[in-house]
Amino acid sequence: MIMTTRPTRVTSAPPSRFRRPHGGAFLAVLVLAGLAIHGVSRLDLSPERLLMAPARTWDFLSRGFPPATDRVPNLAEAMLETIEMAIIGTALGVLLSLPIALLAARNTTPHSMIHVAAKSLLTVMRSVPDLVWAMVFVVSVGLGPIAGILTIMVDTIGFAGRFFAERIEELDRGPIDALRSTGANRISVMACAVIPTAFPSFTGTSLYCLEKSIRGAAVLGLVGAGGIGVELNVAFQLRQFDTAMTIIIMILIVVLLAERLSSVARKRMLDGSSAVAPH
């Protein structure tokens, strides 16, 4: 007797992108779509405004060129103040973010409640926009660069602290456990194993924070927090577009130079670390 087997029918599930979304995802899409439609309806986009936009843009460009050069020394001094604000605020923020990151990382925090509190603090600092912090500090300490420095410091703590904590949690447990097995206390483990191992990543993140701070410091003056932003705000209010164009060009040059120098420093740091790495 010859027995025949019926071929089994193989059914393949459709790719995940073709599957029907679950209720929560469908509801989220509806909410986002509703918010987008409602936002567009409140934009007050009229044909007249759209047709006038090119003419107004041309008016700004035509009155902005050639840029004004009579106030370059004063503007350069304000630009220097902006750079100093960024450097001081970033340095303070990086220094303060390191202990907070050690408390926020799961493998170095002394208690789970401290971990939650430190993570929440970093989230709050990172979630509030720079200009909001600037307005808060302008009210607290008054107009001027001090408010800008404090704003950059808080923003750097929230940004760098998060990445520092994530890098600490990704560290190899070997050196940490080896030191703990010798009876080293918590501070010794952090100083001799955690920080030296994660130092290259800390340095790269700090350089990126400095780039970010220079860009942010340039606009903090719009709310009175010192720097070149004050001059830019005044130039636009007085419709001195040639002076405003000079300030914009100065900001562009400084930001590009900062990004270039930061990239070179990071590249050299990576090349140096790879050169001393064991083969």
> For residues 54 and 33, what is the distance between their CA atoms, to the nearest angstrom?
30
Angle at 60 between CA 59 and CA 66, to 5 degrees: 105
Count of Cβ atoms closer than 10 Å to residue 88 Cβ: 18
Which residue segments constitute the domains of the chain, with CATH numbers given? 69-276 (1.10.3720.10)
- CA–chain centroid gap for 205, Å, is 10
Q: Among 231, 213, 225, 180, which residue's Cα sits nearest to residue 97? A: 213
> For residues 41 and 262, what is the distance between their CA atoms, to the nearest angstrom?
43
**Contact predicate 231/75, CB 8 Å:** yes
Q: Taking residues 108-124, what's their average pLDDT?
A: 87
Return the pLDDT at 279. 46
**Contact predicate 225/145, CB 8 Å:** yes
Contacts of 250 (CB under 8 A, 6+ apart): 75, 76, 79, 228
* pLDDT, tens digit, 9 for 90 and up, residues 156-183: 998 888 888 888 888 777 777 676 777 6
| Residue 216, both tokens | 């942010």
Q: Which of 98-107, 133-142, 158-167, 269-278 has the lowest mean pLDDT?
A: 269-278
Q: Taking residues 85-105, what's their average pLDDT?
A: 90
- How far CA 208 is from CA of 195, 202, 259, 271, in Å, comes to 19, 10, 8, 18
Q: Among 81, 231, 77, which residue's Cα sits nearest to residue 147? A: 81
Q: Taking residues 19-43, what's their average pLDDT?
A: 76
For 99, the 3-state DSSP assignment is helix
Q: Among 247, 260, 253, which residue's Cα sits nearest to residue 219? A: 247
pTM of the model: 0.76
Buried b / exposed e along 37-69 (16+ C-beta atoms within 10 A):
eeeeeeeeeeeeeeeeeeeeeeeeeeebeebbe
> For residues 220 and 158, what is the distance between their CA atoms, to the nearest angstrom?
17
